[in-house]
Protein backbone atom coordinates (compact mmCIF):
# COMPACT_ATOMS: atom_id res chain seq x y z
CA UNK A 1 0.00 0.00 0.00
CA UNK A 2 1.09 3.57 -0.71
CA UNK A 3 1.55 5.60 2.49
CA UNK A 4 -0.91 8.38 3.08
CA UNK A 5 0.48 11.71 1.86
CA UNK A 6 0.21 14.66 4.23
CA UNK A 7 0.70 18.24 3.04
CA UNK A 8 1.97 20.63 5.71
CA UNK A 9 1.49 24.35 4.99
CA UNK A 10 3.39 26.40 7.58
CA UNK A 11 3.62 30.11 8.27
CA UNK A 12 7.32 29.28 8.82
CA UNK A 13 9.24 26.04 9.27
CA UNK A 14 12.12 27.50 11.20
CA UNK A 15 12.89 25.80 14.51
CA UNK A 16 10.21 27.23 16.81
CA UNK A 17 7.75 25.57 19.16
CA UNK A 18 5.04 24.57 16.69
CA UNK A 19 7.57 23.46 14.10
CA UNK A 20 9.46 21.23 16.51
CA UNK A 21 6.18 19.73 17.70
CA UNK A 22 5.38 18.98 14.07
CA UNK A 23 8.82 17.34 13.73
CA UNK A 24 8.15 15.16 16.79
CA UNK A 25 4.84 14.04 15.33
CA UNK A 26 6.38 13.28 11.93
CA UNK A 27 9.15 11.24 13.54
CA UNK A 28 6.72 9.40 15.82
CA UNK A 29 4.40 8.43 12.94
CA UNK A 30 7.31 6.88 11.07
CA UNK A 31 6.67 5.13 7.75
CA UNK A 32 2.89 5.26 8.13
CA UNK A 33 2.76 8.62 6.33
CA UNK A 34 4.81 10.57 3.80
CA UNK A 35 5.07 14.33 4.08
CA UNK A 36 5.40 17.43 1.90
CA UNK A 37 6.31 20.63 3.77
CA UNK A 38 5.85 24.18 2.49
CA UNK A 39 6.81 27.40 4.30
CA UNK A 40 5.06 30.71 3.67
CA UNK A 41 8.47 32.31 4.23
CA UNK A 42 10.71 30.98 1.43
CA UNK A 43 13.80 29.32 2.82
CA UNK A 44 12.52 29.24 6.40
CA UNK A 45 13.03 25.48 6.78
CA UNK A 46 15.52 25.19 9.66
CA UNK A 47 13.34 22.65 11.50
CA UNK A 48 13.76 20.20 8.62
CA UNK A 49 17.17 19.08 9.86
CA UNK A 50 15.52 17.55 12.94
CA UNK A 51 13.34 15.13 10.93
CA UNK A 52 14.60 11.56 10.97
CA UNK A 53 16.41 10.56 7.74
CA UNK A 54 14.20 7.45 7.61
CA UNK A 55 11.07 9.54 7.03
CA UNK A 56 9.70 10.12 3.53
CA UNK A 57 9.57 13.92 3.28
CA UNK A 58 10.00 16.51 0.55
CA UNK A 59 9.90 20.30 0.28
CA UNK A 60 8.22 21.18 -3.04
CA UNK A 61 9.66 24.31 -4.58
CA UNK A 62 6.88 24.63 -7.18
CA UNK A 63 4.01 24.91 -4.67
CA UNK A 64 2.04 28.16 -5.08
CA UNK A 65 3.12 30.93 -2.65
CA UNK A 66 1.14 30.93 0.59
CA UNK A 67 1.41 34.73 0.88
CA UNK A 68 -0.13 37.25 -1.51
CA UNK A 69 -3.35 38.97 -2.45
CA UNK A 70 -6.31 36.65 -1.73
CA UNK A 71 -7.69 36.90 -5.26
CA UNK A 72 -10.05 34.19 -6.51
CA UNK A 73 -7.54 33.08 -9.15
CA UNK A 74 -4.70 32.73 -6.65
CA UNK A 75 -6.90 30.82 -4.19
CA UNK A 76 -8.05 28.49 -6.97
CA UNK A 77 -4.40 27.78 -7.81
CA UNK A 78 -3.70 26.96 -4.16
CA UNK A 79 -6.68 24.64 -4.02
CA UNK A 80 -5.58 22.73 -7.13
CA UNK A 81 -2.18 22.10 -5.55
CA UNK A 82 -3.88 20.27 -2.65
CA UNK A 83 -5.68 17.67 -4.73
CA UNK A 84 -2.96 15.02 -4.84
CA UNK A 85 -2.72 14.67 -1.05
CA UNK A 86 -4.70 12.65 1.49
CA UNK A 87 -4.74 15.28 4.23
CA UNK A 88 -3.86 18.97 4.39
CA UNK A 89 -2.50 20.51 7.59
CA UNK A 90 -2.30 24.31 7.85
CA UNK A 91 -0.54 26.25 10.60
CA UNK A 92 -1.21 29.75 11.93
CA UNK A 93 -2.12 32.97 10.16
CA UNK A 94 0.59 32.61 7.52
CA UNK A 95 -1.26 29.64 6.00
CA UNK A 96 -4.77 31.06 6.31
CA UNK A 97 -5.08 31.79 2.58
CA UNK A 98 -4.63 28.06 1.97
CA UNK A 99 -7.43 27.36 4.43
CA UNK A 100 -9.59 29.90 2.59
CA UNK A 101 -8.79 28.25 -0.75
CA UNK A 102 -9.83 24.91 0.70
CA UNK A 103 -13.03 26.40 2.09
CA UNK A 104 -13.98 27.80 -1.32
CA UNK A 105 -13.12 24.81 -3.50
CA UNK A 106 -13.19 21.71 -1.28
CA UNK A 107 -16.49 20.47 -2.67
CA UNK A 108 -16.05 21.30 -6.36
CA UNK A 109 -12.47 19.98 -6.53
CA UNK A 110 -13.04 17.03 -4.18
CA UNK A 111 -10.17 18.14 -1.97
CA UNK A 112 -8.87 16.10 0.97
CA UNK A 113 -9.80 17.08 4.51
CA UNK A 114 -8.04 20.05 6.06
CA UNK A 115 -7.04 20.43 9.71
CA UNK A 116 -5.90 23.86 10.84
CA UNK A 117 -3.55 24.51 13.80
CA UNK A 118 -3.42 27.79 15.73
CA UNK A 119 -0.58 28.14 18.23
CA UNK A 120 -0.63 31.84 19.00
CA UNK A 121 -0.08 35.26 17.55
CA UNK A 122 2.76 37.43 16.32
CA UNK A 123 3.51 40.81 17.87
CA UNK A 124 0.92 42.55 15.67
CA UNK A 125 -1.85 40.62 17.46
CA UNK A 126 -0.18 39.99 20.81
CA UNK A 127 -2.31 42.56 22.65
CA UNK A 128 -5.46 42.68 20.54
CA UNK A 129 -6.73 40.53 17.69
CA UNK A 130 -7.47 42.24 14.40
CA UNK A 131 -11.15 42.37 13.46
CA UNK A 132 -10.56 41.77 9.75
CA UNK A 133 -8.41 38.74 10.47
CA UNK A 134 -11.05 37.35 12.81
CA UNK A 135 -13.66 37.63 10.05
CA UNK A 136 -11.29 36.06 7.54
CA UNK A 137 -10.60 33.15 9.90
CA UNK A 138 -14.32 32.51 10.36
CA UNK A 139 -14.80 32.27 6.60
CA UNK A 140 -11.61 30.36 5.85
CA UNK A 141 -12.26 27.60 8.39
CA UNK A 142 -15.87 26.88 7.50
CA UNK A 143 -15.03 23.61 5.70
CA UNK A 144 -12.12 22.56 7.93
CA UNK A 145 -12.46 19.12 9.50
CA UNK A 146 -10.85 20.34 12.71
CA UNK A 147 -9.16 23.29 14.37
CA UNK A 148 -6.41 22.30 16.82
CA UNK A 149 -5.32 24.63 19.63
CA UNK A 150 -2.94 23.95 22.54
CA UNK A 151 -4.38 26.30 25.18
CA UNK A 152 -7.58 27.12 27.02
CA UNK A 153 -7.30 30.75 25.89
CA UNK A 154 -7.11 29.82 22.21
CA UNK A 155 -9.98 27.39 22.68
CA UNK A 156 -12.13 30.24 24.00
CA UNK A 157 -11.09 32.49 21.11
CA UNK A 158 -11.90 29.77 18.57
CA UNK A 159 -15.35 29.25 20.03
CA UNK A 160 -16.33 32.81 20.93
CA UNK A 161 -14.44 35.06 18.48
CA UNK A 162 -13.98 32.86 15.43
CA UNK A 163 -17.36 31.20 16.11
CA UNK A 164 -16.22 27.70 15.34
CA UNK A 165 -18.55 24.81 16.19
CA UNK A 166 -17.55 23.06 19.42
CA UNK A 167 -17.24 19.73 17.59
CA UNK A 168 -14.60 21.21 15.27
CA UNK A 169 -12.32 22.59 18.01
CA UNK A 170 -9.80 20.21 19.58
CA UNK A 171 -7.59 21.35 22.43
CA UNK A 172 -4.46 19.17 22.51
CA UNK A 173 -1.91 20.31 25.07
CA UNK A 174 1.71 20.29 24.02
CA UNK A 175 3.63 17.36 25.48
CA UNK A 176 7.25 16.28 25.77
CA UNK A 177 9.13 13.12 26.81
CA UNK A 178 9.27 14.29 30.41
CA UNK A 179 11.60 11.51 31.58
CA UNK A 180 14.36 12.71 29.25
CA UNK A 181 14.66 15.95 31.24
CA UNK A 182 15.29 14.39 34.65
CA UNK A 183 19.08 13.94 34.38
CA UNK A 184 21.39 16.87 35.15
CA UNK A 185 23.11 17.93 31.92
CA UNK A 186 26.87 18.06 31.52
CA UNK A 187 28.30 21.48 32.41
CA UNK A 188 29.68 21.86 28.87
CA UNK A 189 26.47 20.72 27.10
CA UNK A 190 26.04 24.14 25.45
CA UNK A 191 28.67 24.64 22.72
CA UNK A 192 31.03 27.43 23.60
CA UNK A 193 29.70 27.87 27.14
CA UNK A 194 30.66 26.02 30.32
CA UNK A 195 28.84 26.38 33.62
CA UNK A 196 31.36 26.76 36.43
CA UNK A 197 30.90 25.07 39.79
CA UNK A 198 29.64 28.25 41.49
CA UNK A 199 27.78 29.76 38.53
CA UNK A 200 24.08 30.57 38.74
CA UNK A 201 22.03 30.87 35.57
CA UNK A 202 18.71 32.45 34.80
CA UNK A 203 17.79 31.12 31.38
CA UNK A 204 15.20 30.74 28.69
CA UNK A 205 14.51 28.90 25.45
CA UNK A 206 12.99 31.34 22.97
CA UNK A 207 13.09 32.49 19.39
CA UNK A 208 14.71 35.93 19.33
CA UNK A 209 11.54 37.62 18.10
CA UNK A 210 9.79 40.83 19.15
CA UNK A 211 6.81 39.01 20.67
CA UNK A 212 9.16 37.34 23.19
CA UNK A 213 10.16 40.81 24.50
CA UNK A 214 13.60 39.60 25.55
CA UNK A 215 14.92 43.14 26.18
CA UNK A 216 12.38 43.24 29.04
CA UNK A 217 13.94 40.06 30.42
CA UNK A 218 17.34 41.77 30.29
CA UNK A 219 15.98 44.73 32.26
CA UNK A 220 14.43 42.45 34.89
CA UNK A 221 17.60 40.37 35.10
CA UNK A 222 19.71 43.48 35.79
CA UNK A 223 18.37 43.44 39.36
CA UNK A 224 20.15 40.16 40.15
CA UNK A 225 23.53 40.01 41.94
CA UNK A 226 26.77 39.86 39.97
CA UNK A 227 27.15 36.08 40.40
CA UNK A 228 24.09 35.44 38.19
CA UNK A 229 24.24 35.09 34.40
CA UNK A 230 21.49 35.33 31.78
CA UNK A 231 21.52 32.57 29.14
CA UNK A 232 19.11 32.90 26.21
CA UNK A 233 19.02 29.87 23.92
CA UNK A 234 17.53 30.69 20.53
CA UNK A 235 18.00 32.45 17.23
CA UNK A 236 16.17 35.25 15.48
CA UNK A 237 16.10 38.86 14.30
CA UNK A 238 16.06 40.50 17.77
CA UNK A 239 19.62 39.51 18.69
CA UNK A 240 21.05 43.00 18.31
CA UNK A 241 18.19 44.59 20.27
CA UNK A 242 18.88 42.19 23.16
CA UNK A 243 22.60 42.92 23.09
CA UNK A 244 21.94 46.67 23.00
CA UNK A 245 19.64 46.45 26.01
CA UNK A 246 22.23 44.45 27.94
CA UNK A 247 24.85 47.10 27.15
CA UNK A 248 22.49 49.88 28.27
CA UNK A 249 21.74 48.06 31.55
CA UNK A 250 25.38 47.34 32.28
CA UNK A 251 25.02 43.55 32.15
CA UNK A 252 26.50 42.80 28.72
CA UNK A 253 29.33 40.76 30.24
CA UNK A 254 26.75 38.56 32.04
CA UNK A 255 24.60 37.86 28.97
CA UNK A 256 25.14 34.77 26.81
CA UNK A 257 23.43 34.10 23.47
CA UNK A 258 24.80 30.69 22.40
CA UNK A 259 22.20 30.09 19.69
CA UNK A 260 19.55 27.43 19.15
CA UNK A 261 19.41 24.36 21.40
CA UNK A 262 18.72 21.35 19.19
CA UNK A 263 17.99 19.07 22.16
CA UNK A 264 16.56 21.05 25.09
CA UNK A 265 16.55 17.95 27.32
CA UNK A 266 20.35 18.07 27.31
CA UNK A 267 20.68 21.73 28.34
CA UNK A 268 17.66 23.20 30.13
CA UNK A 269 18.56 21.53 33.43
CA UNK A 270 21.66 23.75 33.59
CA UNK A 271 19.42 26.70 34.45
CA UNK A 272 18.69 27.56 38.08
CA UNK A 273 15.62 29.62 37.20
CA UNK A 274 13.62 29.46 33.98
CA UNK A 275 12.18 32.75 32.71
CA UNK A 276 9.78 34.10 30.12
CA UNK A 277 9.06 37.72 29.23
CA UNK A 278 6.68 37.18 26.29
CA UNK A 279 3.90 39.55 25.35
CA UNK A 280 1.91 36.59 24.02
CA UNK A 281 2.05 32.83 24.56
CA UNK A 282 -0.48 30.02 24.58
CA UNK A 283 0.85 26.74 25.99
CA UNK A 284 4.62 27.20 25.65
CA UNK A 285 6.56 23.97 25.32
CA UNK A 286 9.57 25.68 26.88
CA UNK A 287 7.70 26.01 30.18
CA UNK A 288 6.85 22.30 30.14
CA UNK A 289 10.51 21.52 29.43
CA UNK A 290 11.62 23.66 32.36
CA UNK A 291 9.08 22.02 34.65
CA UNK A 292 10.17 18.54 33.58
CA UNK A 293 13.75 19.52 34.42
CA UNK A 294 12.67 20.50 37.93
CA UNK A 295 13.02 24.27 37.58
CA UNK A 296 11.05 27.14 39.08
CA UNK A 297 9.44 29.36 36.44
CA UNK A 298 9.22 33.17 36.57
CA UNK A 299 6.99 34.49 33.81
CA UNK A 300 4.15 36.84 32.88
CA UNK A 301 0.61 35.50 33.09
CA UNK A 302 0.14 35.06 29.34
CA UNK A 303 -1.81 32.23 27.72
CA UNK A 304 -2.09 29.19 29.98
CA UNK A 305 1.17 29.73 31.85
CA UNK A 306 -0.49 30.36 35.22
CA UNK A 307 -2.48 27.12 34.90
CA UNK A 308 0.48 25.11 33.65
CA UNK A 309 2.80 25.54 36.63
CA UNK A 310 2.38 23.90 40.03
CA UNK A 311 0.54 25.76 42.79
CA UNK A 312 3.84 26.36 44.58
CA UNK A 313 5.04 28.32 41.52
CA UNK A 314 2.00 30.61 41.38
CA UNK A 315 3.59 33.58 43.23
CA UNK A 316 6.19 33.88 40.47
CA UNK A 317 3.71 34.28 37.61
CA UNK A 318 3.30 38.04 37.36
CA UNK A 319 1.00 40.45 35.49
CA UNK A 320 1.77 40.61 31.78
CA UNK A 321 3.97 43.57 30.85
CA UNK A 322 5.07 44.29 34.43
CA UNK A 323 8.85 44.20 34.20
CA UNK A 324 9.29 45.34 37.80
CA UNK A 325 7.19 42.43 39.08
CA UNK A 326 9.13 40.02 36.87
CA UNK A 327 12.39 41.37 38.26
CA UNK A 328 11.13 40.93 41.82
CA UNK A 329 10.21 37.31 41.04
CA UNK A 330 13.78 36.79 39.81
CA UNK A 331 15.19 38.37 42.98
CA UNK A 332 13.03 36.29 45.33
CA UNK A 333 13.93 33.00 43.66
CA UNK A 334 17.59 33.90 43.25
CA UNK A 335 17.93 34.60 46.98
CA UNK A 336 16.60 31.23 48.19
CA UNK A 337 18.06 27.94 46.83
CA UNK A 338 15.74 25.87 49.04
CA UNK A 339 12.71 27.67 47.60
CA UNK A 340 13.97 27.03 44.06
CA UNK A 341 14.31 23.31 44.80
CA UNK A 342 10.85 23.06 46.36
CA UNK A 343 9.10 24.93 43.54
CA UNK A 344 11.06 23.05 40.89
CA UNK A 345 10.20 19.69 42.42
CA UNK A 346 6.49 20.52 42.43
CA UNK A 347 6.71 21.61 38.79
CA UNK A 348 8.48 18.39 37.83
CA UNK A 349 5.79 16.25 39.41
CA UNK A 350 3.04 18.18 37.62
CA UNK A 351 4.81 17.94 34.25
CA UNK A 352 5.11 14.17 34.56
CA UNK A 353 1.45 13.81 35.48
CA UNK A 354 -0.09 16.08 32.86
CA UNK A 355 2.35 16.94 30.06
CA UNK A 356 3.96 13.73 28.86
CA UNK A 357 4.05 13.48 25.07
CA UNK A 358 2.39 10.05 24.90
CA UNK A 359 -1.01 11.66 25.42
CA UNK A 360 -0.30 14.33 22.79
CA UNK A 361 0.95 11.84 20.18
CA UNK A 362 -2.07 9.60 20.63
CA UNK A 363 -4.51 12.50 20.29
CA UNK A 364 -2.90 13.85 17.11
CA UNK A 365 -2.64 10.42 15.51
CA UNK A 366 -6.32 9.69 16.16
CA UNK A 367 -7.36 13.07 14.75
CA UNK A 368 -5.21 12.85 11.61
CA UNK A 369 -6.03 9.19 10.88
CA UNK A 370 -9.74 9.85 11.25
CA UNK A 371 -9.62 12.65 8.65
CA UNK A 372 -7.56 10.79 6.02
CA UNK A 373 -8.79 9.74 2.63
CA UNK A 374 -9.21 5.95 2.27
CA UNK A 375 -6.01 3.95 1.92
CA UNK A 376 -4.78 3.65 -1.65
CA UNK A 377 -3.15 0.51 -2.99
CA UNK A 378 -0.12 0.44 -5.23
Give the CA distances from residue 240 to residues 235, 246, 271, in Å, rounded to whole numbers and listed in that order: 11, 10, 23
Domain CATH number, residue 255: 3.40.50.2000
**Hey, is 260 helix, strand or coil?**
coil
Identify whether 299 is part of a domain.
yes
CA–CA gap between residue 294 and residue 145 (Å, rounded) = 38
pLDDT score, position 1 = 64
Is residue 166 domain-shared with residue 48, that is, in the same domain?
yes
Identify whether 102 is part of a domain.
yes
**Hey, is 378 helix, strand or coil?**
coil
Is residue 332 domain-shared with residue 270, that is, in the same domain?
yes
pLDDT score, position 378 = 47
Query: How many Cβ atoms from other residues are within 10 Å of residue 358's Cβ?
Result: 11
Mean pLDDT for back-to-back runs of 10 residues, the chain (378 residues): 90 88 95 96 92 96 94 97 97 96 96 95 78 95 96 93 97 92 94 92 94 97 97 95 97 95 93 96 92 98 94 97 97 98 98 90 96 70
Identify whether 259 is part of a domain.
yes
Is residue 234 domain-shared with residue 299, that is, in the same domain?
yes
Give the CA distances from residue 341 to residues 273, 296, 309, 351, in Å, rounded to whole numbers and listed in that order: 10, 8, 14, 15
CB 6 within 8 A of CB 36: yes
Domain count, the chain: 2
Is residue 107 domain-shared with residue 150, that is, in the same domain?
yes
Is residue 128 domain-shared with residue 228, that is, in the same domain?
no
pLDDT score, position 377 = 46
Is residue 57 domain-shared with residue 116, that is, in the same domain?
yes
Over the Cα atoms of the chain, what is R_g? 21
Instruction: Return the bridge partners of 71, or none.
Output: none
Is residue 153 domain-shared with residue 261, that is, in the same domain?
no
Q: Give the residue ranges of DSSP H helices in 265-319.
A: 285-292, 305-308
CB 222 within 8 A of CB 251: yes
Give the CA distances from residue 86 to residues 78, 326, 374, in Å, rounded to whole numbers and listed in that order: 15, 47, 8
Is residue 275 domain-shared with residue 233, that is, in the same domain?
yes
Identify whether 201 is part of a domain.
yes
Q: How far from the centroid of its chain's Cα atoms is residue 116's Cα? A: 15
Is residue 43 domain-shared with residue 147, that is, in the same domain?
yes
Q: Identify the CA nearest to 114 among candidates 156, 137, 82.
A: 82
For residue 8, what are the domain limits? 4-175+357-371
pLDDT score, position 268 = 97
Q: How far from the centroid of its chain's Cα atoms is residue 132's Cα? A: 24
CA–CA gap between residue 101 and residue 141 (Å, rounded) = 10
Identify whether 378 is part of a domain.
no
Is residue 147 domain-shared with residue 283, that is, in the same domain?
no
Is residue 110 domain-shared with residue 194, that is, in the same domain?
no
Identify whether 310 is part of a domain.
yes
**Which sign, positive or negative, has the C-alpha torsion 185, 186, 187, 192?**
negative
**Which sign, positive or negative, has the C-alpha torsion 354, 23, 43, 265?**
positive
pLDDT score, position 100 = 97
**Which sign, positive or negative, has the C-alpha torsion 227, 228, 233, 234?**
negative
Is residue 168 domain-shared with residue 301, that is, in the same domain?
no
Identify whether 65 is part of a domain.
yes
Q: What is the DSSP letter of 300?
A: E
pLDDT score, position 376 = 55
CB-count burial class (<10 Å; 0-12, 13-18, 19+) for 158: buried
Identify whether 376 is part of a domain.
no
Residue 88 parent element (H or E): strand 87-91
Amino acid sequence: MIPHRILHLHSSFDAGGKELRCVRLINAFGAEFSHSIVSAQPGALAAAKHISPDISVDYPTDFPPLAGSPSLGRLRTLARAMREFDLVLTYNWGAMDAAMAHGLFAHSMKLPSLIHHEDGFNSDEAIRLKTRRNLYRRLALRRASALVVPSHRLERIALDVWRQPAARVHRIANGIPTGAYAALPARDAIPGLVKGAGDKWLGTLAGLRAVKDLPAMVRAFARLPADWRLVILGEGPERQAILAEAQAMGVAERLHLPGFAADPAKVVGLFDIFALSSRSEQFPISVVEAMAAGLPVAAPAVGDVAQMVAQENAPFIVPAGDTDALGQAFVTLAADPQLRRAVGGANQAKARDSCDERVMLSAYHALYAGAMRPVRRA
